Amino acid sequence: MSNAFFVAGTDTEVGKTVCSRAIIQSAVAAGVQVAGFKPVASGSQITPVGTRNTDALYLQDASNVELTYEEVNPYTLVEASSPHLSARKEDIAIEFDVIDSAFAHLKSKSEMVLVEGAGGWRVPVTDEIYLSDWVQRQKLPVILVVGVKLGCMSHAVLTAEAIERDGLEVVGWVANRINPGLDNYADVIKWLEDKLPGQKLGEIPYMPGITKRDLSSYIDFSLLASNDTSK
HSE-CB at 104 with a 13 A cutoff on CA atoms is 7
pLDDT confidence band for 126 (50 / 70 / 90): very high
Percent share of the chain, pLDDT over 70: 98
| Residues constituting the chain | 231
pLDDT at position 230 over 70: no
pLDDT confidence band for 228 (50 / 70 / 90): low
Which residues make Cβ contacts (< 8 Å) with residue 109, sequence separation at least 6? 35, 65, 67
pLDDT at position 229 over 60: no
pLDDT at position 203 over 70: yes
Percent share of the chain, pLDDT over 90: 90
pLDDT at position 223 over 60: yes
Render pLDDT for 49-107 as a digit per residue (tens, 0 to 9). 999 999 999 999 999 999 999 999 999 999 999 999 999 999 999 999 999 999 999 99
Catalogue the active-site residues: 38
Give the pLDDT score at 128. 96
Residue 230 lies in a domain: no
Residue 149 lies in domain: 4-225
Give the pLDDT score at 231. 36
Give the pLDDT score at 1. 62
Render pLDDT for 172-193 as a digit per residue (tens, 0 to 9). 999 999 988 889 999 999 999 9
- Tally the domains of the chain: 1
Phi-psi region of 204 (alpha: psi -120 to 50; beta: other; left: phi over 0): beta
Q: Which CATH number do you get for residue 180?
A: 3.40.50.300
Give the mean pLDDT of the chain.
95
Residue 87 lies in a domain: yes
Give the pLDDT score at 157. 98
The residues facing 6 across adjacent strands are 115, 142
Give the pLDDT score at 33. 97
pLDDT confidence band for 209 (50 / 70 / 90): confident
Residue 60 lies in a domain: yes
Residue 185 lies in a domain: yes
pTM of structure: 0.95
Q: Angle of helix 152-165 relative to helix 185-195, nearest 10 degrees? A: 20
31 CB neighbour count, 10 Å cutoff: 8
DSSP string, 76-105: E--SSS-HHHHHHHTT----HHHHHHHHHH
Residue 117 lies in a domain: yes
Residue 181 lies in a domain: yes
Residue 231 lies in a domain: no
Question: What's the rounded Cα separation, in Å, for the pair 23 and 201?
Answer: 9
Average pLDDT (12-40) is 96
The residues facing 148 across adjacent strands are 177
The residues facing 202 across adjacent strands are 174, 219
Q: What are phi and psi of 22, to 5 degrees?
A: -60, -40
Residue 82 lies in a domain: yes
